[in-house]
Amino acid sequence: DFATMLGCEPFSIMTVLLPVGISFYSFQSMSYAIDVWRGTAPPVKNFATFACYVALFPQLVAGPIVRYNTVAEELETRTHTLENFVRGIGFFCFGFVEKIFLANQVGIIADRVFAADAPGVINSWWGSLAYMFQIYFDFSAYSNMAIGLGLMLGFHFPRNFNGPYRSVSITDFWKRWHISLTSWFRDYLYIPLGGNRVPTGRMYFNLFLVMFVSGVWHGANWTFVCWGLYHAFFMIVERANNKNAWYYKAPKVLQILFTQVIVLFGWVLFRADSIGDAVRMWKNMLGLGATAASDVILSAEIFTPTCVVFMALAGLFSFWKYRSYDWCIEVSFKKSLFALALFVLATLALFTQSYNPFLYFQF
């Protein structure tokens, strides 16, 4: 009755009322139930097939979120080819390299800055930028490794990232970041609530609700809730401007720069332990906060030649128009040797690092 009152499908309101329960009743299980109920996917013929889908280990923990209707046929029968297996190895190798050589390295900088009492302006920006790179390469690495494992097993998983730090608006950012999650909320929550086929005020409410649920999904902390609402604000403002950012007439380079500054301040909120910590970091970034005497020591730790090199590499591959996903679409002997060589180097580097799990394992 409550769903009818809001004018939406029962499953969409279930997603609203049980955002925390999503972690228990997984996206996979919900996708199956909704797809079968809508008639867009056939029901499974046996429990083993359903169990295989829910427990599909390459994407079980952090994604990409694979909907039942996209792999329904492959759960029943798959075609295994040497080309797909080699492509899968390429995806896995590049994901592994992203994790070891980029995410873990810049993560050291981010951890030191966010653990500091009162970092100065330069150190605050450097550490926030490091976390911006860390969360991208950490999650992109996991997604590529999952896609690779899926290909080795005969499954085709969807692309999960498409150069999000090259986006020209927050709306564009969410078309490129964690694509499987964004499309899941769009198709199973936003559109059933009416999407943009409703009065303007209701459409803004739908955007607000989707981003609110997205924030809560990441964790039971006010920082995640406010992070979701932070992005909701900019998405509503852009929707009111025909999906354009207020700076859309600026040169593309400036559009990308302005967008990533907004994203960067949002990541500070996402990374902070509390709202107070996020505000303090923002003040330090703007030069409005106090700077501890130990900031000089912090600078010496995070501006070493090694740190600068890895930050430069992270920045290059973040904004470079060529993506590892595109590189792995077609395989060749030279590409395979290159990927395996990088994998060997990353494996050797792994033994020099401490335990460093994927960030999205906590969500």
The series of mean pLDDT values per 10 residues for the chain, 363 residues long, is 44 42 56 82 81 71 74 83 88 90 92 92 96 93 89 88 94 93 89 89 93 86 93 95 90 96 96 94 92 90 94 91 74 80 86 65 52
Handedness of CA 72, 78, 84, 90 (dihedral sign): positive
Identify the pLDDT of residue 66.
81
Tokens 């591959």 -> residue: 317
pLDDT of 17: 39
Name 159's Cβ contacts closer than 8 Å, sequence gap at least 6: 64, 147, 179, 325
Please report, for the chain, how many H helices and E strands are present, in that order. 18, 0
User: What is the largest distance, in Å, between two alpha-carbon atoms of the chain?
Assistant: 67
Quick one: which of 101, 181, 86, 172 has its CA closest to 141? 101
- CB contact at 8 A, 38 and 68: no
Q: Where are the alpha helices (DSSP H) in the chain?
A: 2-6, 10-17, 27-38, 47-54, 68-76, 82-97, 104-115, 121-153, 170-176, 179-185, 200-218, 222-240, 252-271, 275-285, 295-302, 305-319, 324-327, 333-350
Residues that are catalytic = 218
Alpha-carbon gap, residue 325 to 140, rounded angstroms:
10
> Could you tell me how far CA 245 lies from the centroid of its own chain?
21
Angle between the N-to-C axes of helices 200-218 and 222-240, in degrees from 0 to 180, rounded to the nearest 10: 150
Distance CA 360, CA 363 (A): 5
CA distances from 110 to 233, 245, 274 (A): 26, 29, 16
Nearest C-alpha neighbor of 49 from the set 62, 33, 68: 68
Q: What is the pLDDT of residue 63?
A: 62
pLDDT at 356: 61
Cβ-based neighbours of 351, under 8 Å, separated by 6 or more: none
- At 119 the pLDDT is 92
Name the residue type at position 146.
A
What pLDDT score does 188 carry? 87
Q: Which two tokens stand for residue 255?
A: 């559009």
